[in-house]
Structure 1
Amino acid sequence: MSPNLGGALLMMASMAAFTLNDTLIKLTAGALPLFQLIFLRGVITSALILALSGRLGPMHLRIDRRDWGLIALRSLSEIGAAYLFLTALIHMPLANLTAILQVVPLSITLASALVFREPVGWRRMLAIAVGFTGVLLIVKPGAEGFTIWSLYSLLAVLCITLRDLTTRRLSRGVPSMSVTLVTSLVVMTAAGLGSLSDPWAPVTGELALLICSASVFVLGGYFFSIQVMRVGEVSFTAPFRYTGLIWALLLGWLVFGDWPGPLTLIGAAIVVTTGLFSLYRERRLLAS
C-alpha cells in the first residue's frame, strides 16, 4: 500500500469515527443535561488517552510558555465549539449540520489570509465566496427552515476555525497527544463546573453505553487524524475529509430517517466542490 493510499484510508476512518461519535451523542436525544453529557464523555476520553499514553504517540508537558498560551486559547475555543456543536447536533438533522461544517477548510483559508496575511489568490477567494453561498442555501436565512440551531452551527464553525488556526501556530515539537489530553481535560473541567448549575439526570445503562461508545469513537477520530499527518501527502489526503458528509447522509437516513431537502443537498455540493477546488489550488501553488 502506498503512503498516499494509506493516508487516504486513515482520513476516511477518522471522518467515519467522528461521525459515529456524533450519531451516538445525538441518540441520547437530550436525556441528559448537555454539560453533564460533555463532562461524562470527557472523563472517559481523558481516561482512555492516559491509559493509552505512549501508544497513540509521544506525550509530555515540557512545553514553552508561548505554546502553553496557544494551547489555552485552543482549549477555550474547543469549549465553545463543543457546546455550540453538540447543542445544534441534538436539535438539527445530522447531515445538515455536517454539511455546514464542511465550510471549515474555506473559513480557515479566509482567516489565514486576513489574520496571518497568507497569500490567497483571486481564484481561491472566489471559491470561498461561492462556498459561503452554499452554506446560505443550507441554513436558509430568512426562511422557515432557519432556526436558532442553525445560528449555533455557524458559531461552532467560527470556534472550530479559531481552534484550527491556533493549532497551526503551535511549534512542531509540541506532541499532538499532549494537546489532545490538555484540551480534553479543560473541556471536561469546564463542563463539570457548568453541570453544577443543573441537577444531574440519572444515567441509565443505555445512556452509559452510548456515552462510552461515543468516547471510544471520538478518541479513534483523534488517533486516525493524527496518524494521517504522518502518512502520505497532506495535499493528497485532505480532500478525503469530505467523506464525513457521506457518512452523515447515510447514518442520518438509516438511524434517524432524515434526508436533506434539495436546497441543502445543492448547498452541500457547492461547499464540497469549492473546498476541493481550494485544496487543488493550494497543491498547485505548493508544487510550483
Structure 2
Amino acid sequence: MSNPRPTALIAFLVGSVGIATFSGMDAVMKGLVIALGIYPTMLWRMLSGVAMSGLLFAARPVRPARSTMRIHLVRGILTVVMAMLFFWGLAKVPLAQAIALAFIAPLISLFLAAAFLGETIGRKTILASLIAFAGVLLIFTGQARADLGHEAMLGSIAILVSAICYAVNIILMRSQALVAGPIEIAFFQNLIVAVALLLAWPLFGGASFPPADQAPFVLLAAFLSTVSLLLLSWAYARAEASYLAATEYTSFLWAMLFGWLVFRETVSPFTLAGAALIVAGCFLAARRPQDVTPSLEVAA
C-alpha cells in the first residue's frame, strides 16, 4: 500500500508551480486590461484558451457524466464573475496589493472544505494559514498608509468580492478534480467561460480584435492560464483542498516580483515583513502533509 505523504507533498509542490504560472498570467492580464479593457481582454483570452485546450482534449475526447458536467458548468459561471471582478480591480491597484486582498479566499476555503467536503482540518494547517494571513494583514496595514484614491478603493472592494467567489472555486476545484482529468477540466472551463462571455456581447457593445502589438500577450495569457489549470487540477486530484489552499499564499511573492519587474511597483518594508510570514506559513503547511488524508490516489 502506497504512503500518502509523498503524494501530498508532491501535490503541494505542483500546486505551487501552478500558482506561480497563474500569477504570471495575472501580470500579463493587468497590462492587457489597462490597454484593451476588461471585456475584450477576457473574451479573447478565453477563446484562445478554448483553442489551446481543445487541441489537447480532441486527442482523447471524453463525454462527461451529467453530474460532472454540472460541476463544469457551475465552476465556469462562477469563474466569469470571479475573473471579471478581479481583473477589473487589478487594473486599479498595485499587483501585490490585489493578491494580498485575495488571500482571504484560502482561509474561507478551509471552512468550506470542512462544511461541504467533510474534510478534517489539521491544527497545524490552520496555524499555517493564520501565520500566512498575519503576513497579509501586515502588508495591508503598510499599504493602507498610502493614499491610492477612490478608484483604488473600488478596485479593492471588487477584489474582495472576487476572493469570496474564489474560496467557493477552490472547493469546486477539488470536487471537479476527483471526477475529471486535467485536460477535460481545462477545456470545459475555457469553453463555458467563453460561451458566457459571448452571450454577454450585447451588454458590453462587442469587442474588436486586439491590436497586433497586444495579440501575442493575449495568447501568452491564455497559455499560462491553461498550463495553470492543468497543474492545479492534477494537484487537487491528489490532495485535499484544505491542505492545498496554503499554496495560494505563494502567489504574493510572484505578484511582488512581477509587479516590480513589469510595472515598477515599489515594495515597502511592511510588504517584505509580511512576505516573510507568508513563506513561513507555507513552509509549515508543506512540512505537515500528515495533517490531511488524500481521499483519492490517482495514477500518474
User: When the two structures are superposed, what TM-score results if normalisation uses the length of structure 2?
Assistant: 0.76
Which residue identity lines up with residue 227 of structure 2 in the other structure? G
Matches within 5 A, 1:116-131: 116=117, 118-120=119-121, 124-125=125-126, 128-129=129-130, 131=132
Preserved CA contact (<8 Å) 2:174 2:240: no
Preserved CA contact (<8 Å) 1:137 1:266: yes
The number of equivalent residue pairs is 283
Which residue identity lines up with residue 30 of structure 1 in the other structure? I
What displacement does 1:43 show? 0.7
The aligned counterpart of 1:62 is 64
Q: What SS does the aligned partner of 2:63 have?
A: coil
Which residue identity lines up with residue 210 of structure 1 in the other structure? F
The aligned counterpart of 2:156 is 150
The aligned counterpart of 2:108 is 107
Matches within 5 A, 1:1-288: 10-11=14-15, 13-53=17-57, 59-63=61-65, 65-116=66-117, 118-120=119-121, 124-125=125-126, 128-129=129-130, 131-140=132-141, 144=147, 147-170=153-176, 172-199=178-205, 200-201=207-208, 203-228=210-235, 242-278=249-285, 280-281=287-288, 283-284=290-291, 286=293
What is the identity percentage for the equivalent residue pairs of Structure 1 and Structure 2?
A: 23
Preserved CA contact (<8 Å) 1:36 1:192: no
Structure 1, unmatched stretches of 5+, are none
Change in Cα spacing, 1:129 to 1:235, as seen in structure 2 (3 Å) is closer
Instruction: Give per-residue Cα distances to partners, 1:221-275, cap 9 Å, x unaligned.
Output: 2233345568999999986665433332222111111123233443444444345
What displacement does 1:91 show? 1.6
What displacement does 1:163 show? 1.3
Change in Cα spacing, 1:229 to 1:25, as seen in structure 2 (3 Å) is same
**Counterparts of 2:268 and 2:138, CA distance in 1:** 10
What displacement does 1:167 show? 2.7
* Stretch deviating more after TM superposition (252-261 or 263-272): 263-272
Change in Cα spacing, 1:245 to 1:126, as seen in structure 2 (3 Å) is closer
- Name which structure has the greater RCO, CA cutoff 8 Å, separation 6+: 1
**Counterparts of 2:109 and 2:235, CA distance in 1:** 19
Q: What SS does the aligned partner of 1:91 have?
A: coil
Q: What SS does the aligned partner of 1:203 have?
A: coil
Preserved CA contact (<8 Å) 1:18 1:218: yes
**Counterparts of 1:120 and 1:54, CA distance in 2:** 38
User: When the two structures are superposed, what TM-score results if normalisation uses the length of structure 1?
Assistant: 0.78
Which residue identity lines up with residue 269 of structure 2 in the other structure? P
Structure 2, unmatched stretches of 5+, are 1-5, 295-300
